[in-house]
Amino acid sequence: MKQSEQRILTTHVGSLPRARELSDLLIADEARQPIDHARLEVLAAEGVQSVVARQVGAGLDVINDGEQPRVGFQTYVSRRLEGFGGSSIREPFKDFADYPDFADIWVKRGMVMSKVFDAPTAQQEVVYKDLAPATRECDLFDAALAQQSGKYVEPFMTAASPGIVAPRSVTPGMTAMRPMSGRSPASSARNTNSSSAAAMCCNSTARTWRWSGTACSRTAA
């Protein structure tokens, strides 16, 4: 990770707005409705290219893919790991409880949302089985970065931590998490620090990304 030695490097929280069509397809896919997967792939690629270019255009130094291929910044986890199912029950936002008129305004906006309040829960051991979605996301990001070579300081890849996943998706007593088989003990130890498949992608020795425990950064060539 680069340090702000000569000036303060600028970045952002990670998730950036998606195009309506892309968001709708991701939400429908999360709900296991039939969708046009080819169209989803096209829109995800376009979304990554767009947000990368816009970050560069805004003058940001440390940029990412805006999480464009993911349905949400933490609920995507249950789509990439096995062991999740059913629905959780999340308590309403405190703002809604304290200010019912605000909750009413929110409802009347008619937003189509991902499973923020009813995300699947961990019903059995959570296991990494398939890195394909994470690999595709990394590939889309690499392709977009190639078009902006030399115009940014450093890229990063976000990953949902257990702390943000547990309150929404973990059933009491279900805390076990096992990495993919065939990895070294050191790699496995790093992998269990994150509930995101992005960490697995970063730690793959065949890729140019590395998981630090808090962020994913591209290693030096």
- Quickly tell me which residue has 């890195």 as its tokens: 131
93: its two tokens? 């936002």
71: its two tokens? 């349905």
Question: What are the pLDDT tens digits along the chain (221 aa)?
Answer: 888 989 999 999 889 999 999 999 999 998 889 999 999 999 999 999 999 999 999 999 999 999 999 998 877 888 888 888 777 776 777 887 888 888 888 777 766 677 666 677 778 888 877 889 999 999 999 999 999 999 999 999 998 877 777 665 555 554 444 444 433 322 332 333 333 444 444 443 334 455 454 445 555 44
Strand 82-85: give its sheet, edge to edge. 82-85, 121-127, 177-178
Domain assignments of the chain as residue spans, ordered by start: 20-218
Report how far apart, in Å, the C-alpha atoms of 93 and of each of 64, 96, 97, 102, 163 are: 28, 5, 7, 11, 17
pLDDT value of residue 111: 65
Of 202, 80, 58, the C-alpha closest to 141 is 202
Report how far apart, in Å, the C-alpha atoms of 82 and of each of 3, 86, 119, 167, 211 are: 37, 12, 14, 18, 21
- Quickly tell me which residue has 């509930």 as its tokens: 195
pLDDT value of residue 175: 45
pLDDT value of residue 10: 96
119: its two tokens? 């995300």
Residue 86 DSSP SS3: coil
